[in-house]
Amino acid sequence: MADHLVNQGGTWHVRLTVPKDIQPLLGKSILSRSMKTSSRIEAKNKSLRYLAIWKAQFEFYRSKKESFKDHPKEIAIERAIENEERYKENFKRIVNKDSHAHISESEYLNLVEYLVSQCEAGQISYETMFKAGQLLRDGVNLEAKARKEKRELTDSERLNIHEMQKQYNIILNLDKISSTFKQNEAEREEIQRIFREPEKYIKEPFSKKLILDYKNYISKRLKPKTADQQLSRLEKISSYFEKTKKEFNFRNVSNFIESVSDSISTKKQYLWAGNAFWAWAVKFDDKFEEKYSKIKNPFENHALPKRNKLNTNSYFEFSKNDLERIYIAAKNTDQNLADVIEIAAYTGCRIEEIGRLRNQDIVNIKSESPYIIIHESKTKSGEREIPINPKLIKTLIRLMSGRAKSEYLFSGGKNLYGNRFDYLSKRFGRLKTSLGFDKKYTFHSIRKTTATQLHQGGAFIGIIPYILGHKIGSITYDTYSAGPSLEQKKVAIAILDFEFI
C-alpha cells in the first residue's frame, strides 16, 4: 500500500496513518477518504490532493502542539459532534437491522489491539483500556448469544450494543483529552458534558482551532496588521454565532452584518474577511470542504447600500485658524506633539514619515536651499525631497542639536506593527477631541490642510502631488518624468504661512 490506496467493495479509498505524537490532537489513528471510483489510476490522481493536505496538517499540528493547550474544549466539541453524527447513522442502521451496525469478532480483536497499543503509548490509562475493552466484549457477547440461540438480535439488544459503542468512544476520547491537556476538575466536567450532550454545543464553522490554522496561513501572506484585523473580525463572527446559537446561513450572516456597524465600509470589511476565510477553508480544510463545499457561500451577494457620492470624504481638512489653535494647545502641554504638527503643516508629511526622520535626512539646513529627504514612506511615490520653509528652520535646528547623524529627530515607541509614532497619533486624537473635533478630523487632515493652502495660495497644481508624495495618475508624469526640481517645489512651499507662536 505504498500509494496509500485500498480497495473496499470495488471502490478505492485513500488511507494514511496518523503519527502517534499527534493522534491525541486529531482523535484518530487513521485518516481515510473514499475516492468514489473503481479506477485505480483515477483514485491515485485524486488521492494526491488529500495526502498533501493530511501531511501538511500533520506538520502543522506537530509544530503547534503547545498552542493547542488552550483549546481542549474546541477539540472536544469537534470530536463529540463527529461521534454524534456517527451514532445517528449507526442508529438508523440498527433500526433497519443492518448487520454492519454491529461488532464482529475480528473487529473486536482489532479494537482490543488498538486499545493495548494506546495504553502502551501512554495515550490512555489502564483503567480506560479495561473499561473500553469490557464494553466491546459485552457487545460481542450479546451477538454471540443470539447466534448460539439461532435468532436475530432483539431491538433492545441492538440498542444496547449501540449504547455500548457510544460509551466506548466517550470514555476513550475523555481519557485522550485528559492525557493531552492539563485541566482542573471543572474543566474535566465540562468536557464530559460535551461528550454526553453534544447537541447542546453548536459547532459553528469558525472554530478556534480552524481559525488558528487560518492564522498560520495568512500570517505568511499578509502584513501583520492586516492579518490581525482579519482574524479579529472572524473571531467576532464566531462569537456571534456561538452566543446566539443561530444556524449558519445567508440570512443570519446578513443579520450579523447589520448589527455590527452602521458603516458600509466596516460591513464590507467583515464580508471580505468571511469570504477570504471561506475560500481558504473549502480549499484547504478537509472537514470543512466535506461539510460546506456544496453550500452557497453565505458571505457573497449581500446588497449593501451605496455610499452617497456627495459625502465620500473619510476625513476633513483643518482650516488654517483651526490648525493654529490646535498647535497652541499642543505647545502648552506637549512640545513634541507641537513640533510634529508644525513639520506636518509645512511639509505635508504623514505622521510616520516624520517619525522616521533622522538627523541626516535634513540636508543643508544652514544654506539658502535646505530640504528634507523622505526615505521611508507608505508608497514609492512617497520617497521624495521637500524644500524646507524658512519658518520651519528654527524648529529643525533645535531638534537636530546634540543628535548624531543617524539618530531620529524624535524619540519613538514601537507598537506591534513597527509604527514609531502610534503614541503621538493617539495623543493628537485626544487633543483634537478635547477641542471639539469629531472623528472626521485626524492627524491626516493636516495633509489636506497643507494641500488646500498650497492650492488656494496659487501653487502650480502639478507640483502639489510631488510635495505630498502622491502619484499624478499619468504615464507621462509617473513613468517618464523625473518630477519638478527643488527650486520649483521651493516656490510652492514658500506659500505656506502659519502663525505657530
Which amino acid type is present at position 297? N
Query: Within this chain, do residues 162 and 289 fall inside the same structural domain, yes or no?
Result: no
Query: How much of the chain exceeds pLDDT 90, in percent?
Result: 37
What are the pLDDT digits (tens) for 430-444? 999 999 999 899 999
Question: Is 40 contained in some domain?
Answer: yes
- Give the pLDDT band (50/70/90) at residue 126: confident
Q: 341 pLDDT exceeds 60? A: yes
The C-alpha cell 464566531 sits at 238
Q: What is the pLDDT of residues 127-176, one digit of tens each?
A: 888 888 888 788 888 888 888 888 887 878 877 877 787 787 777 777 76
Buried b (16+ CB within 10 A) or exposed e, 312-326: eeeeebbebebbbeb
139 and 96 fall within a common domain = yes
- Looking at residues 289-304, what average pLDDT do you find? 85
Supply the pLDDT for residue 374: 94
User: Both 351 and 480 in a single domain?
Assistant: yes
pLDDT band at residue 256 under the 50/70/90 scheme: very high
Which residues, 6 or more positions from 235, have their beta carbon under 8 angstroms from its beta carbon?
206, 211
What predicted TM-score, i.e. pTM, was given to this entire model?
0.54
3-state secondary structure at position 28: coil
Residue 200 scores a pLDDT above 70: no
CATH code (residue 423): 1.10.443.10
Same-domain check for residues 195 and 304: no
Chain segment 6-38, per-residue pLDDT in tens: 988 889 999 888 887 777 666 677 888 888 899
In terms of domains, do 328 and 303 share one? no
What is the DSSP code (8-state) at residue 200?
Answer: G
Q: Worst-scoring range by mean pLDDT, 11-20, 69-78, 103-112, 368-377?
A: 69-78
What pLDDT, on a 0 to 100 scale, did the predictor assign at position 108?
A: 73
Local confidence band at 492 (pLDDT 50, 70, 90 cut-offs): very high
- Position 479 pLDDT exceeds 70: no
Confidence check: pLDDT of 409 > 70: yes
pLDDT at 100: 47
Which of 309, 332, 360 terminates a domain? The answer is: 309
* Cα–Cα–Cα angle for 82, 254, 284, rounded to 5 degrees: 40
Q: Are residues 48 and 78 both part of a single domain?
A: no
Least confident of 130-144, 180-194, 399-413, 472-486: 472-486
- Does a structural domain hold residue 446? yes
315 in any annotated domain: no
How far apart CA 226 and CA 391 sit, in angstroms, is 39
The predicted pLDDT at position 275 comes to: 92
Q: How far apart are CA 327 and CA 345, in angstroms?
A: 10
Q: Residues 65-74: what's their mean pLDDT? A: 56
pLDDT confidence tier of residue 87, bands split at 50, 70 and 90: low
Instruction: Indicate whether 68 pLDDT > 70.
Output: no
Residue-level pLDDT at 96: 64
| 374, β-bridge pairs | 384
Can you tell me the distance from the alpha carbon of 482 to that of 191, in angstroms, rounded to the nearest whole number?
67
What are 365-404's pLDDT values in tens digits? 999 999 999 988 878 888 999 999 999 999 999 999 999 9
List residues bridging with 238 in a β-sheet.
Answer: none
The whole-number pLDDT of residue 308 equals: 53
Query: Is residue 282 over pLDDT 50?
Result: yes
Are both 287 and 358 inside the same structural domain?
Answer: no
The arrangement of strands across the sheet holding 362-363 comes to 362-363, 371-374, 384-387
Indicate the residue among 158, 177, 201 that finishes a domain: 201
Verify that 468 and 341 share a domain, yes or no: yes
pLDDT interval class at 318 (50, 70, 90): very high
Range of 325's domain? 320-493
Same domain? 54 vs 146: no
pLDDT of residue 387: 97
Average pLDDT over residues 320-339: 96
| pLDDT tier for residue 454 given thresholds of 50, 70 and 90 | very high
pLDDT at 382: 85
Number of H helices, E strands in the chain: 21, 6
> Are the CB atoms for 466 and 491 separated by under 8 Å?
no
pLDDT surpasses 60 at 102: no
Q: Give the pLDDT band (50/70/90) at residue 325.
A: very high
356 located within any domain: yes
Cβ atoms of residues 448 and 455 within 8 Å: no
Residue 242: is its pLDDT beyond 70? yes
| Domain endpoint, select from 47, 70, 93 | 70
Q: Report the number of distinct structural domains present in the chain.
A: 4
pLDDT at 93 (0 to 100)? 63
Q: Is residue 450 part of a domain?
A: yes
Bridge-based pairing state of the strands 11-17 and 5-8: antiparallel
187 and 115 in a common domain: yes
The Cα 295–Cα 432 span in angstroms is 49
Domain assignment of residue 314, yes or no? no
**Same domain as 331, residue 392:** yes
Residues 412 and 432 in one domain: yes
Give the whole-number percent of the chain exceeding pLDDT 70: 81
Q: Work out the mean pLDDT of the chain and round it to a whole number.
A: 83
